[in-house]
Chain A
Amino acid sequence: MHRFANPARFLKIARPLTGWLFWPGLSLILAGCFCGLFVTPADYLQGETVRILYIHVPAAWLGMAGWSGIAVAALMQLVWRHPLASIAGRALAAPGALFTAICLATGSIWGRPTWGTWWEWDGRMTSMLVLLFLYLGYIALANASARQGQGGVSAVTAIFGLVGAINIPIINRSVVWWNSLHQGPSITLRGSSIDGSLLWPLGLTFLGFSLLFGAIVLMRMRTLLARNKIEARMQRLARG
C-alpha cells in the first residue's frame, strides 16, 4: 500500500482506472436494471414491487461498504500515516452517504405496498438511518478540517470514522437480533433464499454499482489531490 503513497504514482494508475471502472459499471447497471424490470418474473407474493430489490440491495451494500472503507482509511491514517488514506476517507464519504440515502428511500418506497407503511422504527431501518447521520457528521467534520488547511481529514475525523464502524455489524445482524418487519438475511455464505429466476440480475446491478462507486471515489480523490496541488502552489506564491 505504501507503494501508492506518492500521489503522482497513484494518479498514474487512478486516471485510466476511473474509466475502466466507470464504463463497465454503467453498462452492468443498465443491463441489470433492464433485466430486473422487464425480463424477470414478478414475485408470487410481492408482485412487481420485488423489482426494487435490484437497486435497494446494491445501495445498502455500498452504504455499509463505504463506511467500512472510511474505517480502514482511518486506521491507515492513524497507524501507518499513509498520506493518501485521509484523502480516500474524505472521497468515500459523499458517495457512501448518497447510497445510504438511496437505500433508505427505496426501502421506504418498497415498504409502503409490501408492509403498508413508509417507515417503522425497527432495528434495520433505524441502524441504517444512524449510518446516514454518521456520514453527515463525518462530512461536516471533514469539511471543517479541510477549512483548516488540510487536504484530507483531521485525526479527530479519522477517529470518528473508526468508532462509527461499530454500527456496521449492528446493521448486518439487526434482523437476527431483533424482531423486524424487514426480512431476515436472504443471501448468506450458505446460499440464497431468493429463487434463481429472480436473483441473477442482482449480480449485474451489484457488480455494476460497485464498479461505479469505485469510479466516483477515484474522481473525488483526484479532485482532492488536484486541489491540494493548487493550494500548495498558492501558499508558495504567497510566501514569495
Chain B
Amino acid sequence: MNQWAFVAAAYALALLATATVIVLSWRAMREAEGQAEDRPRP
C-alpha cells in the first residue's frame, strides 16, 4: 500500500475544496458589492 497516495489524495481534496469555496465566496462578494454600488438610487 503506497502511503503517499493517501497523503496526496487527502491534501488534494482539502486544498481543492478550500480553493473552491474561496473563489465562490470572492466572486459572490464582488458581484453583490458591485451591484449594490452601481444600481442607481431611486
A interface residues, Cβ below 8 angstroms from B: 33, 37, 47-49, 51-52, 55-56, 59, 94-95, 98, 101-102, 105-106, 109-110, 112-113, 209, 212, 215-216, 219-220, 222-223, 226-227, 229-230, 233, 236-237
Report the minimal beta-carbon distance from B1 to chain A, rounded to whole angstroms.
6
| Contact yes or no, A102 B14, CB < 8 A | yes
B interface residues, Cβ below 8 angstroms from A: 1, 3-4, 6-7, 9-11, 13-15, 17-18, 21-22, 25-26, 28-29, 32-33, 35-36, 39, 41-42
Secondary structure dominating the interface of B: helix
| Contact yes or no, B42 A237, CB < 8 A | yes
Report the minimal beta-carbon distance from A61 to chain B, rounded to whole angstroms.
13
Secondary structure dominating the interface of A: helix
* Among all A-B residue pairs, the 3 with the closest Cβ atoms: A226-B32, A48-B3, A226-B36
| Contact yes or no, A113 B1, CB < 8 A | yes
A109 — which chain B residues lie within 8 A by C-beta? Answer: 6, 9-10, 13
| Contact yes or no, B35 A55, CB < 8 A | no
Report the minimal beta-carbon distance from B8 to chain A, rounded to whole angstroms.
9
Identify 27 residue pairs between A and B in the complex whose beta-carbon atoms are under 8 Å apart, listed by A's number.
Answer: A33-B15, A47-B3, A49-B3, A52-B6, A55-B11, A55-B14, A59-B14, A95-B21, A105-B10, A105-B14, A109-B10, A112-B6, A209-B18, A216-B21, A216-B22, A216-B25, A219-B28, A220-B25, A223-B25, A223-B29, A223-B33, A226-B32, A226-B33, A226-B36, A227-B32, A230-B39, A233-B42
